[in-house]
Amino acid sequence: MVRFEDLRIFMAAAAQGSFSAAARELDLTPAVASAALKRLEQALDARLFVRSTRSLRLTSDGERYLEHARSALSALEAGRNAVARNKTDISGTLSVSIPSDLGRHVLLPWLDEFQERHPRVNFQVRISDRLADLYRQPVDIAVRYGTPNDSGLVALPLAEHNRRVVCASPAYLARHGVPRVPEDLRRHNCLSFVLGETLHDRWAFLHQGAVLNVPVKGDRVGDDGELVRRWALAGHGLAYKSRYDVLADLRAGRLIEVLADYECEPSPLYLLCVHRMLLSPAVKRLREFLHERFKAFEAGPAAGPDVRA
């Protein structure tokens, strides 16, 4: 395997006509330069120089190899410079996996805004409530609720204090009444969410230091977060949703939060990737941008338009 540094020493020795001069130019010892050229000749199984005590000149094989070495070195330098530029440029294509409901109604407008600020960034967007396999699928980063089970993933917080809420439309509550305590949910039509093979039909609450897990049931189960939200908006039942999924609806009065005295389970939001080496300038800037947008979103309607209207 030809080494990058050996090529540089070969080029310098050819230009200088001297091992020692090439070594001085590259701030190496003559012994290191000589060893590098021996490795190169062994790798090529050819003599590249004719040596004497007073002179050094290229052989015919050396002359032929010199042009190829120049091209190879130039290509390697160009590649190294491209990587170096990528460490500072806000550019490139990002493949992003985002959750269904939050993705369609909150994140997509924000990604549009990010691209307006950084037009050299391209997005490939995958929308699904299933967590993409970041090791096998062509996905650079994922935005997901909850602390990841895989400790090998890099998880950067976007909204650490988000939680779930129980909510329903005003029409549903007018017909069926407002639950006052979690046990009242047993008498209500609860809209359940299924992810993979897991049915989320136990809703968790924290009250006065105690955790309550209430089994619920209803006439509708969906595997898409937006579908469950739409059922709630249409008055079909109660939903147990991430607060950010329904925050605009709550503010607009389309949905009403119930059981507010009982804190629901946390639902922090993270940006995930498989290794810190993949945190390119574009990814870092996107994470900062989303973190700030979530803070503004939490602060109130003035932070942005109601994109669900």
Rounded Cα distance between 42 and 9, Å, is: 15
Residue 286 and residue 224 in one domain? no
Q: What are the pLDDT tens digits along the chain (309 aa)?
A: 678 888 888 888 888 888 888 888 888 888 888 898 899 989 888 998 888 767 788 898 988 898 888 888 888 777 776 665 555 678 889 999 999 999 999 999 999 999 999 999 999 999 988 877 777 788 889 999 987 777 778 899 999 999 999 999 999 999 999 999 999 999 999 999 998 888 999 999 988 888 899 999 999 999 999 999 999 999 999 999 999 999 999 999 999 999 999 999 999 999 998 888 778 899 999 999 999 999 999 987 643 333 333
Residue 182 and residue 260 in one domain? yes
Q: How far is CA 269 from CA 144, 199, 245, in A?
A: 6, 21, 11
Residue 51 and residue 14 in one domain? yes
Indicate whether 220 belongs to any domain: yes
Domain count of the fold of the chain: 3
Choosing from 47, 64, 83, the residue where a domain stops is 83
Indicate whether 205 belongs to any domain: yes
State which residues form the domain around 193.
Answer: 164-264
* Domain CATH for 110: 3.40.190.10
Residue 234 and residue 273 in one domain? no
**Residue 185 near residue 215 (C-beta atoms within 8 A):** no
Q: How far is CA 138 from CA 122, 162, 234, in A?
A: 15, 28, 36
Which pLDDT score, from 0 to 100, does residue 305 have?
35
Indicate whether 304 belongs to any domain: no
Residue 118 and residue 246 in one domain? no
Rounded Cα distance between 188 and 240, Å, is: 13
Q: Give the predicted TM-score (pTM) of the model.
A: 0.67
Taking residue 244's Cβ as centre, other Cβ atoms within 10 Å add up to: 24
Tokens of 145: 């609720």
Indicate whether 18 belongs to any domain: yes
Choosing from 66, 83, 100, the residue where a domain stops is 83
Residue 280 and residue 148 in one domain? yes
Residue 29 and residue 175 in one domain? no
DSSP three-state, residue 70: helix
Residue 13 and residue 62 in one domain? yes
**Residue 264 near residue 203 (C-beta atoms within 8 A):** yes
Residue 122 and residue 77 in one domain? no
Which pLDDT score, from 0 to 100, does residue 53 have?
67
Tokens of 54: 């007073």
**Residue 218 near residue 224 (C-beta atoms within 8 A):** no
Question: Residue 20: what residue type?
Answer: S
Choosing from 43, 63, 83, the residue where a domain stops is 83
Residue 26 and residue 114 in one domain? no
Residue 152 and residue 286 in one domain? yes
Indicate whether 309 belongs to any domain: no
Which pLDDT score, from 0 to 100, does residue 88 have?
60
Indicate whether 306 belongs to any domain: no
* Domain CATH for 8: 1.10.10.10
Indicate whether 98 belongs to any domain: yes
Indicate whether 305 belongs to any domain: no
Rounded Cα distance between 46 and 61, Å, is: 7
Residue 133 and residue 280 in one domain? yes
Which pLDDT score, from 0 to 100, does residue 83 have?
64
Which pLDDT score, from 0 to 100, does residue 201 have?
92
Q: What region does 291 belong to: left with phi over 0, alpha with psi -120 to 50, or beta?
A: alpha
